[in-house]
Amino acid sequence: MLLFSLSGRVALVTGASQGLGRATAIALAEAGASIVAAARNAEKLADAVKEIEAGGGRALAVPMDVADGDQVRDGFKVALAYFGRLDILINNAAITRDGLQLRMKREDWDTVLRTNLTGAHLCIQQALGVMLKQRYGRIINIASVVAQTGNAGQANYVAAKAGLMGLTRSVALEVASRNITVNAISPGFIETPMTDPLSQEIKRSLNERIPLGRIGQPRDVTAAVIFLASEEAAYITGQTLNVNGGMYMA
């Protein structure tokens, strides 16, 4: 049996139109899973699906804003009608609206929490409706190292990602008896469109804070996703796997 094979599985990835989400969708497809690529940008989603199909994989684009409960419900219905099952959920969708706490607008706080935390909650609810009947599932929430270290100017983002870790543990306890595992991955600084705007000076400073001496690549995170989604990780649940080059050590 091929190690970490996801052949025959169906995975839904949120925020799959670009960056880490897109890399995750492609990696899951390469491991044998059929992919439901979900995000707000339909054009970028279509490009991601073409890339997966060009590599011999199966994929479906489902435009969806995870902050909108109706869109989440309808998106999952489309996915299930197309593939007939759902085995893996990757809650990756996230946004930032940075600002110091003293001056942070309520709208910026609510918007980030609604997408980064409530969005994951809504997707988990829809996924569990299927996974509980199947008596099988893998839920992986993408958190962040800043949820563990804190980060000035990102109180909303940090609170949402820290909440995601707590959500992971609670849901893991609720569904373990049904052969459903729920874990989180906490990436450090990864080269994605979210970190591209950082100046070279800031990137050099980050490298000095990372014991392994480099900013992470998407493949560093996607390898962890594949492992947690696989049969080899069947006895792991309620955990947060740090993928940060040693930047934070619990």
| 30 close to 56: Cβ distance less than 8 angstroms | no
Instruction: Name the phi and psi angles at 37, rounded to 5.
Output: -95, 115
Express each pLDDT in 58-97 by its tens digit: 999 999 999 999 999 999 999 999 999 999 999 999 999 9
Express each pLDDT in 169-203 by its tens digit: 999 999 999 999 999 999 999 998 777 777 788 78
Express each pLDDT in 110-162 by its tens digit: 999 999 999 999 999 999 999 999 999 999 999 999 999 999 999 999 999 99
What is the pTM assigned to this prediction?
Answer: 0.96
Give the CB-side neighbour count of residue 29, counting CA atoms within 13 A. 25
Set 136, 157, 235, 248: catalytic member: 157
DSSP line for 130-164: HHHHHT-EEEEEE--THHHH--TTBHHHHHHHHHH
Identify the structural domains of the chain with CATH numbers, from first to last.
Answer: 10-243 (3.40.50.720)
Among this protein's residues, is 136 annotated catalytic?
no
